[in-house]
Each structure stands twice: as structure tokens, then as C-alpha cells.
Amino acid sequence: MNRHHWWRDAVIYQVYVRSFLDSTGDGIGDLAGVRAGLPYLRKLGVDGIWLSPFYPSPQHDHGYDVADYRDVDPVYGDLDEFDRLVASAHRLGIRVLLDIVPNHCSSEHPWFREALAAAPGSPERARFHFADGRGPDGGEPPNNWHAMFGGPAWTRVTEADGRPGQWYLHMFTPEQPDWNWRNPEVAGEFDRVLRFWLDRGVDGFRIDVAAGLFKHPGLPDSPDPEADARTRDSVNPLAWNQPEVHDVWRHWRAVCEEYTARDGRERLLVGEVSVPSAREHAKYVRPDELHQAFFFDLLGAPWDADAFRKVISEAMQDIAGTGSTVTWVLNNHDQVRTVTRYGEPAEGSGLGAARARAAALLMLALPGAAYIYQGEELGLPEVVDLPDDVLTDPIFRRTGSRARIRDGCRVPLPWSGQASPFGFTSGDEGAKPWLPQPDYFAEYATHRALADTRSSWHLYRDGLQLRSALHQLGEGTLRWLDTQPGVLAFARGDDLVCAVNFGTAPVPAPVPGTPLLASGPCPPGELPGSTAAWWIDGS
Ligand code: GLC
């Protein structure tokens, strides 16, 4: 048993700093706000927090465009405030993970500015991917790659003499130039960045775009540029998931182990790994690589018993033997919230909310680790009707489409009161959150949720408490039980059974007795539609 590896069954809460709690009254959340919210998170019972990027940044992609990897953007605070946050979190037994962005930086990063000022072929340009264009006068991009957020993956620069010059590669927006990881200077710089934060006491890192970093040597054309353009998934086989990236993760793991050897505190690396198959995914969590990699297939599954069973079984199979456990996730800052994703308005409101609660209880019963995205514990729906003029997601700007934009899950949290800003900002009445909060957020405010034992917050809190009381939950495997179509039930260890009714009509409960915990009211002997429950078998 690996009980001493805290991360194997950890539940981590993702804090989207900008939208958590604002201590300065400017309408933007900040690190002091996160510190003020720690007791709330302690009550919820999470093992740690992952902070979305708070580094100095021009915010073209809300901090995923980093201009300085070793500081705090003044909008979010400063290094002293960061140190206070880590100290307070540790006093409360909450671990702190940072979001590190190694695939690309900001076009404002000093090294990129130096590269722009330097000549083609210079060492400054060699830290990025600069190349001459194709076609007459080099007016066409060097290859046919598409950027994830729309448009070509290349932008042409103006050289010192004022003439159009080389092109540089950016797999996201033009404001996010990709690092050239074949240049040892880049690896060396990230080593220093890791150590800078580890020396300040952090417990690990969530690694942005962890299947990125290396590009195929020579940057040849993609075999299927149309497929790359159609999807925001990382499908271009020459731009993502190159074998060399695994050496980086082996090295970063060794750096973490070095710190553990010094003080006995185990650090955690969790990768955002988007790769085509569960087999490829498993390679990232081999024993000497990342500790965890988000398993996004559960998040991508529709509300359907067979679909859920398939992705859960595949995850369990593929992760077995890697040394890791599955890292489950249902929500994050890039996805439509579960309440809205699972909802079917034609069948009446509340269905999405009931399903989201059931999915949460299912996730918390699975072996492995789980990540909760802020507001998920409140049952917050996606804000789907933000007006165009407040949208900030570069995907909207670059594709002209509202499809899959991400502002709706990033609206600042409601804490108290009946009207916006719902206690989110400490400013006066006029203080405006950076994205407008709808009136109905009043129903979801944390104050209200804490006072109402039927709230989603209580379900998550009770689930987390029981999960740690029933020690066997994080490790081991699951055994599927026979059920009727549309219902999933599995046993964990000797006695815990979790069942979920994906249909809308009640079914007989698969286990006698009163559930230990349920996502909705459960009459004796019955499992109502869109409901999950936990039982201790034989009770
Ligand atoms: C990751 C982040 C996303 C960001 C992108 C580029 O997918 O989760 O928010 O826009 O990387 O850094």
C-alpha cells in the first residue's frame, strides 16, 4: 500500500485567483483574497489548492501569458503576500500548488523582447522558434500549423530595418510565443524557476500544456491541417506529444525528489496532458515522471451510464501498473460547468443540477485523486448569457465564435448578500467584478450554502469527510455490480457501494438499508432518477 504518498488520493481545489475573492476593491480577485478564503476551504475539507497563474502578465490569456516567472502581478499582490498565503495555508494543513506554464511565455517576456530586437540566427532568437517564411519574399508562414485558439500558428515580425522579416511560432495566441525546448538555456531557466518557488515552500505544480514543449525537429507540415483547425484538442502529431518531453518530466521529478530528501515533504507534479489515447496518457505518469495527469475523459463523457462506465474502466486499466492513481476531474476553468453541461432544459430546470451532484458523489467514490474547480461545490451553473462586450477569452476574439468560450465558468464567486458583487469584492457598493454576476448568483452564495444542509456545499463536505474516514477509498480498485440498464453500481473495498441512476425514473436501490450519503432525497429501498448514493454494504 502507498498510504504515505499523500497525493495519491488527494482532493485538490482549483482556485481561479481572479475570480475567488477580491481584497482590494478593484473587482479582481487576489492572493490576499485567497488567504481570507482559506478557512472556508479548510471547512470544506480539501487537501490542497492549485492557484491559477498570478505572475506578471499582460493578461491576454489571463495569466497563461507569463512575462516574469518569478514574481506576482501587482493586480494579485506581491511576493510577501504570496509568502503569507503559503504560511497560512500550511498552518491550516492545506498544500499549495502553483500553475507553471513551460510551453510558452508572454510576448512581453524580456527574452522574447530581446529576440525581437536581435537578428535572425542570433542566440536570442534560438530560445524560441523563429524561421523564414515560404513563398515569394517569405510572405507565407514556415509551415501549415494552426494555433489552438484560431488562425495560423505563426506571426511575422518586422526586423530592425523596418522590413517584414522572420516568423515566430505560437501554438496559442500571437501574444504567447512558444519556447524552444531543444535549447538548453530554456531548460536551465525553468530549473531556476522551479527552485525559486520550491524554495518559497510550495508543495508542487500543475503543469500547463504538459504534452507540449517539444516540436518535431525541422517543424515539417502537419499531415492533416484541417483536423488541427477543426478542434482545439492537441491533434497535430508534430506539434504535441513528442517523445523528448518525457525527459523533462523525469528531470523535474528528480528536482522534486531532491527537495523531499531534504525535508521529507513530498512535492506533487500534476500535468495537463491532452493526448490521443489512454495508453499515451499513462506514459506521463510512469514512476519517475509526473505524479499525476488529469484524466479528461470523464469530463468529456456525456451523462450516460455506458459512457461513464467505459471511461472509468479504461482509466483504471491504463493507469494500473504506472505507479500513479487516476486523477479525476469534472470541471475546470476551460470547460462549461457540469450543472449546465448535463442539463437538458426541455426536461425541466434542476436536472443538470441533480446530475452534477450525482456525478460529484460518483467521482469522490472512485479510487485515485480528484480536483474540484471553485464554485463547483456551490453547484454554480455556467453563465451562458454574458454580453459580447464583456467577453475576454481570446478564443472569442480570434475565432469570432461563442462556441466553447471560457468566460462563463470564470464569473467571480458569490459569497453573501442579495446583489452583485455578492461579497466578492471588498470595495464599496459601486465596485464591479471583472465579469458581471447574474442576479441568480444570490441563491448560490457561500453564506447561504453553509447554512443550508441540503446544499451542494454540504454534499461535497460530507463526501470529503467520509472519503477520508473510509480510508480505503483512495487506493485499490473497484468492482462493478450487476444493475439494470441506465444504472451504475460499484463496490469499493469490502463494504462501500456507490450507485448512480442516470435515468429520470426511480429504480430499486441495489443495496438494502439507508444510504450513508446521497446526492438527493432517497426513500427507503429506492434510488430516484439523477441521483447517486453511498451505502455501507451489510449495514
Ligand atoms: C491550458 C490552460 C488554458 C490556457 C492554455 C494556454 O489549456 O488550461 O486556460 O488558455 O493552456 O496556456
531 forms beta bridges with 501
How many CB atoms within 10 Å of residue 523? 9
pLDDT band at residue 161 using 50, 70 and 90 as cut-offs: very high
Q: What's the pTM value of the predicted model, to 2 decimals? A: 0.96
Q: Looking at 147-277, list the stretches that DSSP marks H as alpha helix, in order from N- to C-terminal side.
A: 184-199, 225-230, 245-263
User: Residue 237's pLDDT is what?
Assistant: 92
**Ligand 1 binding pocket includes 81 (Cβ within 6 Å):** no
Summarize the confidence of residues 479-496 as an average pLDDT.
92
List % helix, strand, coil for the chain (3-state, nearest 5): 35, 15, 50
| Closest residue by Cα to residue 473 from 362, 358, 338, 373 | 362
Cβ(172) – ligand 1 distance below 6 Å = yes
Output 322 or 374, whichever has higher pLDDT. Answer: 374
* pLDDT over 90 (residue 286): yes
* Mean pLDDT computed over 87-106: 98
Percent pLDDT > 70 in the chain is 96
Ligand 1 pocket residue status of 99, Cβ below 6 Å = no
Residue 2: predicted pLDDT: 42
Residue 210 near residue 248 (C-beta atoms within 8 A): no
Q: Are 12 and 50 in contact (CB under 8 A)?
A: yes
CB environment 5-14: b (16+ within 10 A), e (fewer): bbbbbbbbbb
364-393 mean pLDDT: 95
Top mean pLDDT of 235-239, 265-269, 344-348, 473-477 is at 265-269
pLDDT at 131: 98
Residue 32 has pLDDT above 80, yes or no: yes
Confidence class for position 277, pLDDT limits 50, 70, 90: confident
Residue for grid cell 532568437? 125
In this predicted structure, what is the pLDDT of residue 279?
86
> What is the C-alpha to C-alpha distance for residues 177 and 155, in angstroms, rounded to an integer?
9
Tens of pLDDT along 415-451?
A: 999 999 999 998 666 679 999 999 999 999 999 999 9
Instruction: Quote the cell numbers at residue 46.
Output: 480539501
Residue owning the nearest CA to atom 7 of ligand 1: 209
Q: Whose CA is nearest to atom 2 of ligand 1?
A: 208
Ligand 1 centroid to residue 208 C-alpha, Å:
6
What Å distances lie between residue 523 and 355, 507, 514, CA to CA? 18, 11, 8
At 58, give phi and psi (nearest 5°): -75, 0
Q: From residue 535, how far is each of 158, 295, 314, 503 by CA, in Å?
A: 66, 26, 25, 20
State pLDDT tens for residues 200-243.
999 999 999 999 999 999 999 998 888 777 766 678 999 999 99
Round to whole Å and give the CA distance between 82 and 88. 10
The closest-lying atom of ligand 1 relative to the alpha carbon of residue 61 is: 10
| Positions marked catalytic | 208, 258
Segment 110-118 mean pLDDT: 98
Q: How many other C-beta atoms can be found within 10 angstroms of the C-beta atom of residue 291? A: 25
- The confidence band for 472, taking pLDDT boundaries of 50, 70 and 90, is low
Cell 517523445: give the residue. Answer: 243
**Distance from C-alpha of 182 to C-alpha of 214, rounded to nearest angstrom:** 7
Of 61, 170, 405, the one to substitute when testing ligand 1's pocket (max ligand atoms within 8 A of C-beta) is 61
Give the pLDDT score at 432. Answer: 92
* Mean pLDDT value of segment 453-468: 96
User: Does the beta carbon of 61 sit less than 6 angstroms from any atom of ligand 1?
Assistant: yes
Q: What is the mean pLDDT of residues 478-484?
A: 95
Average pLDDT, the chain: 94
Centre of ligand 1 to C-alpha 251, Å, is 23
Residues 6+ apart with CB under 8 A from 377: 44, 449, 456, 457, 460, 461
Residue pair 377/47 in contact by the 8 Å Cβ criterion = no
- pLDDT at residue 498 tops 90: yes
Please indicate whether residue 376, judged by its CB atom, sits closer than 6 Å to ligand 1.
Answer: no
Give me the half-sphere count of Cα atoms (radius 13 Å) on the Cβ side of residue 132: 8
3 state SS for 208-242: CCCCCCCCCCCCCCCCCHHHHHHCCCCCCCCCCCC
Average pLDDT over residues 63-92: 98
Q: Domains in the chain, please, with CATH? A: 110-169 (3.90.400.10), 475-536 (2.60.40.1180)
Q: Is 272 in the pocket of ligand 1 (CB under 6 A)?
A: yes
Specify the pLDDT at position 347: 58
Residue 426, pLDDT score: 83
| 165 half-sphere exposure, CB direction, 13 A CA radius | 18
